[in-house]
Chain A
Amino acid sequence: MFGSIFSGAGFWDAGAWILAFLSAGGAALFIRRMGRSDYKKGTDQDEIYYSGNVVPDAEIFTVPASSAYWGFREALKSYYSHLTALHCGIATEYVGWFVFTAALILTFVLV
């Protein structure tokens, strides 16, 4: 129905993927059904377990977006300092980069 695309190394079939997702979903549902049956909604079982302490507010409790991938950023600090310096916000420098690229490509094409 969906058809496949062939390349030299393999093929792509959306139908196969959907089939795979459906069977994986079925398996997940099956495993979920085999779980405990004494769970009750709206009781203490819904509470978040935070080592026995009171769960703090959402603002403190979640990792904010600016802290995500902190390690990645820290490891590549020198790279990012260069890259952020490129986006300095000064409009004439952006024009300068444009002219620089034009000159560079012109040199390579003409020489």
Chain B
Amino acid sequence: MKLMNHLPALTLALPLLAAFATPLIAAVSAKARNRWVTCVSALVTLVVFALLHRVLVHGTQIYVMGAPSWNISLPSGFAIPVRIILEVDAFNALAACAAALAQLAGTIYGLKFVKKFTGLEFYSALFLLLTAGTMGMILTGDLFNFFVFLEISSVASFGLIAFWRDRPESVEASYKYMLVSQLAAQLVLIGLAFIYGRYGVLNMAAFSRAVQPDLISKVVLVFILVALGMKCGAFPMHMWMPDSYAEAPASVTVMLVATSQASLVVLCRFCFSLYGTAIGSAAVPWALIVMGCLSMFGGVSMAVVQHEVKRLMGYHSVSQVGYMLTAFGVGLLALGDAAAMNDYGLAAVSGGLYHMINYILYKGLLFLCAGALYYVAGSRDLDKMGGLARRMPVTSVLFLIAAAAISGLPPFNGFVSKWMIYESVYAVHPILMVVALVSSVLTLASFVKVYQTAFLGPERSQFAAVREVPKSMIAGMAVLAAAILVLSLFPSWTVNTLVRPAAEALVDKASYGAAVMGGAL
């Protein structure tokens, strides 16, 4: 079928088209807008899952924008690709699937959650734009295109974080994120300019062929690493994260989680598929590992003492990102050494990847549950809550699932990925595993606190009239909960069919280049 060739392009074009049509449709009626955004996000999810299926069956997909045909990456007479190319392998496609689930949940949840506020046509348009930016960052195979999508998603998220614009804190959080993020974007742009000046290419596959471990490449790698590390919340640069995650509406926070993971996807792409063995220095993997350990412990220890529910979860995001950074750092350390790669490297990369997918799902669910608490209680302060489990049984069960998953309690998926990370990082140094285990314990402790103070305890008089949140919000949460349960109940299927091919695609630098540049080296 010809349509199947166009799936990568449709993943980007659909949300873009829908985003620009939304204000025009919203002029008709609010109901039309709601139906429109729901249909579009369901369609995007469908397209992304079809893309994942196609990639798993047929191997890496490329898509050349503007070419006479979708697969002409090298027109005759050209040594390097000149057009913008989307390159989708198992790794990209898996991350895109998690992001698609997050945006589906956020869209459905947001229908009722933000209903009573004004400016909803721009909310919907920006949300779809954020989806397009995230998908673009994940799927792109072109460096400058990556910068453009990074900025699209950044600008959309600044607008969405400040959606509650008459709350001073929201605008403040948006401003702080914007300040750091703009500096990071300039570093990325200058890094890309370095690449262009040094190698004359902006295509990722061509760059992965050309890259040498010289001074310029190292500087570029550090710029990209710091900028994207900031975007996904590595420790000394994470301060924007709890602020903006807490102040954004809950339906947006789900998507912000996916966007920050898109940055991590590109970071892994740079470290593994583009640089690979040409990384030239053991300092880069160790920087990842050290930042990861600091994030793990620093994030969670700040989370334990918080009493504002979404801010607490924001600090947990920092901590969870630390697990992935550590795992990818260990994988990077083992790169180029076949024995070490077989021994623990691939397991570390798979663990990090699996944890990334799990993290998007359960952290999204946790933020949605926190939003539900805010929706009924009118406050995010845990001191003012209590006894809500009787009033909101569904939300409390969903929260319990997500909290068990993030704390790594068996039978949930969070345990499997954390376990894979523990066992692989142990091979590098046992202290990494100790840090990870202590962080995990503290995670459990802080979520016990949240559950105990918000859901358990005696009923409070001011919540006598509280009812369960509306059905559409439950449906949004159920999307993520169902995904968590599937990943939990079929771990071996997940690891063997989804995660392992993705990890192998990530570390296989030669085949990443070959998909665009052709087989000849």
Is A30 located at the chain interface by the 8 A CB criterion?
no
Task: Collect the chain A residues with CB atoms within 8 Å of residue B493's CB.
Answer: 3
Q: How distant is A42 from chain B, measured CB to nearest CB, in Å?
A: 16
Contact check, A98 vs B491: say whether CB atoms are below 8 A apart: no
Supposing A12-B416, A17-B410, A91-B176 touch, asked if A65 and B226 sit within 8 A by C-beta, the answer is no
Contact check, B219 vs A58: say whether CB atoms are below 8 A apart: no
Interface residues on A, range: 35 or more
Contact check, B453 vs A79: say whether CB atoms are below 8 A apart: no
Task: Collect the chain A residues with CB atoms within 8 Å of residue B230's CB.
Answer: 98
CB neighbors of B among A60-109 (8 A): 61-66, 68-69, 72-73, 76, 79-80, 83, 86-87, 91-92, 94-95, 97-102, 105-106, 108-109
- Nearest residue, chain A, Cβ from B446: A69
Supposing A58-B458, A62-B386 touch, asked if A97 and B410 sit within 8 A by C-beta, the answer is no
Task: Collect the chain B residues with CB atoms within 8 Å of residue A57's CB.
Answer: 461
Is A23 located at the chain interface by the 8 A CB criterion?
no
Task: Collect the chain A residues with CB atoms within 8 Å of residue B221's CB.
Answer: 109
A24 to B286 alpha-carbon distance, docked (Å): 44
A47 to B381 alpha-carbon distance, docked (Å): 29
Contact check, A110 vs B219: say whether CB atoms are below 8 A apart: yes
Contact check, B283 vs A7: say whether CB atoms are below 8 A apart: no
Task: Collect the chain A residues with CB atoms within 8 Å of residue B281's CB.
Answer: 109
Is B184 located at the chain interface by the 8 A CB criterion?
yes
Supposing A97-B237, A101-B237 touch, asked if A108 and B287 sit within 8 A by C-beta, the answer is yes
**Chief secondary structure at chain B's binding surface:** helix
Contact check, A7 vs B386: say whether CB atoms are below 8 A apart: no
- Interface pick from B28-36, B137-145, B302-310, B466-474: B302-310
Supposing A105-B225, A106-B219, A109-B218 touch, asked if A58 and B387 sit within 8 A by C-beta, the answer is yes
Is B187 located at the chain interface by the 8 A CB criterion?
yes
Task: Collect the chain B residues with CB atoms within 8 Å of residue A91's CB.
Answer: 175-176, 179-180
A108 to B453 alpha-carbon distance, docked (Å): 45
Is B239 located at the chain interface by the 8 A CB criterion?
yes
Is A54 located at the chain interface by the 8 A CB criterion?
no
Contact check, B420 vs A86: say whether CB atoms are below 8 A apart: no
Q: How distant is B247 from chain A, measured CB to nearest CB, in Å?
A: 13
When each residue 381-397 of chain B gets 1 if its CB lies under 8 Å from chain A and 0 otherwise, what string results?
A: 11100110000000000
Task: Collect the chain B residues with CB atoms within 8 Å of residue A49's CB.
Answer: none
A67 to B411 alpha-carbon distance, docked (Å): 31
Is A31 located at the chain interface by the 8 A CB criterion?
no
A17 to B409 alpha-carbon distance, docked (Å): 11
Contact check, A102 vs B222: say whether CB atoms are below 8 A apart: yes
Q: How distant is A70 from chain B, measured CB to nearest CB, in Å?
A: 10
Contact check, A12 vs B419: say whether CB atoms are below 8 A apart: yes
Q: With contacts A87-B242, A91-B176, A101-B237 known, what are 18 further pairs, Cβ within 8 A?
A: A3-B490, A3-B493, A5-B416, A5-B495, A8-B423, A14-B490, A58-B386, A58-B458, A64-B383, A65-B381, A69-B304, A83-B302, A94-B180, A95-B179, A98-B226, A105-B284, A108-B286, A109-B283
